[in-house]
Amino acid sequence: MATASPLPEERPALTLVPPPAASPVFKNETAARPAWIESARAAAERTNRIANLALLPHTVRGYRQLGRRWVERFHDDYPQMIASTNRAIRDAAGDVVQEAKLKEHRKQLRDEYRRHRLLYAGKTVGVAGAVTGGVGFSAVTGSLWIDLAVALGAWGIGAFHGRDRSKPTADEVLGLPAEETDRGHGSVTLDDLHEGAKPFPLRRAETPQQAATCVLLAMAAEGVPVVEVWDMERQAWGWQCKVRVSEGTPEAIIAKAGGLETRFDLPTNGVRPQPMVERRACAILRLVEGNPFATAPGMPYRAPKSISITDKSRLGTSVGGDPLEAAFAGVMGLVVAASGGGKTGMLQAIGEITTACHDNITIDLDPHGDGLEDLYDAVRVTGRSHQQIEAVLLFFLMLSKGRARLRAKLGMGKKWQISKQHPHFTIIFDEFPKGSELAKRLAFELLLVGRKEAVTLLIASQGGTKLYLGENIAQMIAFKAVGPCKVGDTRAVFGDGAVAEGWLPHKLSPATDTDPKDAGHVFVQGVPGMADEPVEYAIHPTPSDVLRKLAKERREAGLVEPDQDSLRAMADVDLPDIGMPLPKLLTWEQLLRLCGAEPPEGAAAEGEDRGVVEDAVAVMEKRGVDRMKTEALLLALRDYDDAYMAWSVDELKAALKPSVGSPETLGRIGDEQNPRGYKLAKLASLL
């Protein structure tokens, strides 16, 4: 019979680790402490438990809190206000009047601060004296009950103000509060930051709470005095939140934008702060990772004569998704953008609105380029030469002067009442710096007097400084739109302190041949009905073929003409004395002929033009037709009179253009769908 195997506990342990008894004891691993140390430790623990039960730590904390409150009320923010005034005095260096006002304000603050400290110290001494007197009385009389009541009162006050108000702790994830601490849209203050937490890239944030913490940590590391981040929201292009600084203004965020972009690992111009007008210490902060305008809606369709110049029309979209809506009635404007900044697109967007109005006439001036380009057909007058531009500006300066005298007769009150019968004029003057000296002077005069008479001027330039505009007129103009430019243009248009307030068009990048970049992006000020906030907008881009189609549609619907009341009133006013020789003042029909525009309906042909029109009417009536192609009309005229035998088609067009205008579409004639030529009714109306 085999011998039984030994039980497991009887077998020797097969291990290289020695048994506990054989293990050495290191110096820092004492087996037992001396008895007197253990006794002292136990006594300390009992004392702490008793103190906690008696709320003594709360009482001490409460009196520390009361002390801090006393110090805050003793100073009452006066040192901060005085320091802010000192900074304002430094910023106003050179402005004697502003410096004097600020220094007087600082003196008043210091006097108020001195009186406040004396008054508050007196109140404190009075209260302290009353308390000390009560305690002293109880001590002298030896009343135990009074002493006990005073002690309990002092203990209760301290314990109440020192009670624990801390929030529940959260697990640390990358130094972040856990998701369950989310207080709605990501709200974080300095008290929520965990000790030792370090900044991290924004792409590692997955929740609003984590993104808010990322913002607060990065700003603390950059020395920005931000104490609160809230309303953190995920957008298609990145994150958006609101921040509050404890001192100064959000200018500190703008100054540290480059460093913050590195902390967040964002592209250049990825940190876009927008100071809030209604809360001086706060700003809306956008952290842009993609294109914030990718989902912006396109330009709405506007039928011919479907809107009024007094209506608000959508022009673009803000970086936050809000619409940019403007009414251009009585709005003098300035558009500034460097080459490639989208200036033409901005003017075309405005022109697309003004040419769709039933009570507005659009005028296009450009001494160097092609002005509104694709909207040519919808523009009533186009001026390109210096002669044309000067004649147009003088005409409308005199028209506004005539309207000023006419308003009272028509019972309009203090400004021109815009209607279909008495329309508004919008003059768009592109490449203003390249205009003649006389044109610039006339434009300046019109800026001063045209608004009340519904004759408005929008000038456009590649710069906003005196070097470009000739006069310091940028800040006197109400409506201003500035795209990619130089920082000097930002200050010239929006004011010397504009950069610190968040106006940053100079940080936008103009387009190149292969990359549109920020072309068409603008900062806008002076939009009627909107607050002047430093918000980036993108103007609705419109393809050229769409603009040409709209322009053709609006021309065929008929362009708006000036009212006869205003035209007649021009004859009763004197030419302005501007210290420069003026061109001859033309009539409306003469101005149209000078600029190659079609004459108004019902205008009579004059001089040699009348003979050609009479002959054209005669041949159409003889053949019994109401319209003829240009080529067919020329053949008929050759049969009618040998004088036309040497004429070409272009010569016939040139002869008819001053009175009739260019050939128009005729509709279907024979096998041709829509040839161009002349209609009998229009020709006959000129005779």
> What number is the average pLDDT over the span 620-629?
87
**Does 425 score more than 90 pLDDT?**
yes
H-helix or E-strand containing 522?
strand 521-525
Residue 185 pLDDT: 55
> What number is the average pLDDT over the span 196-213?
86
More confident call, 417 vs 298: 417
Residue 660 pLDDT: 78
Give the CA distances from residue 19 to residues 13, 14, 32, in Å, rounded to whole numbers and listed in that order: 9, 11, 20
> What number is the average pLDDT over the span 164-186?
44
Among the listed residues 443, 498, 507, 442, the one whose alpha carbon sits nearest the alpha carbon of residue 475: 498
pTM above the 0.85 mark?
no
The CATH number that domain 317-572 falls under is: 3.40.50.300
pLDDT band of 62, cuts 50, 70, 90: low
Residue 603 pLDDT: 55
Please state, for a pLDDT cut of 70, what percent of the chain lies above it.
Answer: 80
- Long-range pairs of 81-89 with CB within 8 A, sequence gap ≥ 24: 81/109, 82/106, 82/109, 82/110, 82/113, 84/248, 85/109, 87/248
Residue 333 pLDDT: 93
The tens digit of pLDDT for each residue in 529-553 reads: 888 888 889 998 888 999 999 999 9
Among the listed residues 430, 174, 216, 423, the one whose alpha carbon sits nearest the alpha carbon of residue 308: 423
> What number is the average pLDDT over the span 94-112?
79
CATH 3.30.980 domain span(s) along the chain:
188-288
Question: Which 8-state DSSP code applies to residue 595?
Answer: T
pLDDT band of 10, cuts 50, 70, 90: very low
Output the CA torsion 21→27→30→34 (10° steps).
140
- Long-range pairs of 579-582 with CB within 8 A, sequence gap ≥ 24: 580/437, 580/438, 580/441, 581/438, 582/394, 582/438
Strand partners, 672: 669
Residue 602 pLDDT: 53
Amino acid identity, position 346? M
> Which residues does 579 contact at the CB level (< 8 Å), separation at least 6?
none
> Are 73 and 120 within 8 A, CB to CB?
yes
Residue located via tokens 């020797």: 12
The tens digit of pLDDT for each residue in 282-305 reads: 888 999 888 888 878 888 899 999
Please state, for a pLDDT cut of 90, what percent of the chain lies above it.
Answer: 27
CATH 1.10.238 domain span(s) along the chain:
609-685
Query: Which of 44-53, 174-183, 439-448 is most confident?
Result: 439-448
* CA-derived radius of gyration, the chain: 40
Residue 138 pLDDT: 59
609-685 folds as: Recoverin; domain 1 (1.10.238)
Which 3 state secondary structure label does DSSP give 371?
A: coil
Cα 354 from Cα 119, distance rounded (Å)? 64
**Does 184 score more than 50 pLDDT?**
no
pLDDT band of 259, cuts 50, 70, 90: confident
Residue 304 pLDDT: 93
Least confident of 27-31, 52-56, 425-429: 27-31
Residue 293 pLDDT: 83
Exposure class string for 322-342: b at 16+ Cβ within 10 A, else e: eebebbbbbbbbbbbbbebbb
Residue 328 pLDDT: 93
> Are 344 and 375 within 8 A, CB to CB?
no
> What number is the average pLDDT over the span 211-235?
88
> Integer distance in angstroms from the first to the last C-alpha of the chain?
145
The CATH number that domain 188-288 falls under is: 3.30.980
**Does 102 score more than 90 pLDDT?**
no
> What number is the average pLDDT over the span 201-206?
86
> Are 342 and 511 within 8 A, CB to CB?
yes
**Does 7 score more than 50 pLDDT?**
no
**Does 149 score more than 70 pLDDT?**
no
Among the listed residues 192, 199, 190, 164, the one whose alpha carbon sits nearest the alpha carbon of residue 178: 192
**Does 355 score more than 80 pLDDT?**
yes
Residue 167 pLDDT: 44
H-helix or E-strand containing 637?
helix 630-640
Question: Which 8-state DSSP code applies to residue 534?
Answer: -
Give the CA distances from residue 683 to residues 193, 592, 626, in Å, rounded to whole numbers and listed in that order: 82, 17, 10
CATH 3.40.50.300 domain span(s) along the chain:
317-572
Residue 46 pLDDT: 67
Residue 275 pLDDT: 84
The tens digit of pLDDT for each residue in 104-135 reads: 888 887 888 888 888 878 877 877 776 676 66
> What number is the average pLDDT over the span 582-596?
88
**Does 37 score more than 80 pLDDT?**
no
pLDDT band of 85, cuts 50, 70, 90: confident
**Does 238 score more than 80 pLDDT?**
yes
**Three-point CA angle 75, 76, 79, nearest 5°:** 60
pLDDT band of 48, cuts 50, 70, 90: low
Amino acid identity, position 81? M
Among the listed residues 335, 325, 342, 285, the one whose alpha carbon sits nearest the alpha carbon of residue 508: 342
Among the listed residues 551, 588, 560, the one whose alpha carbon sits nearest the alpha carbon of residue 361: 560
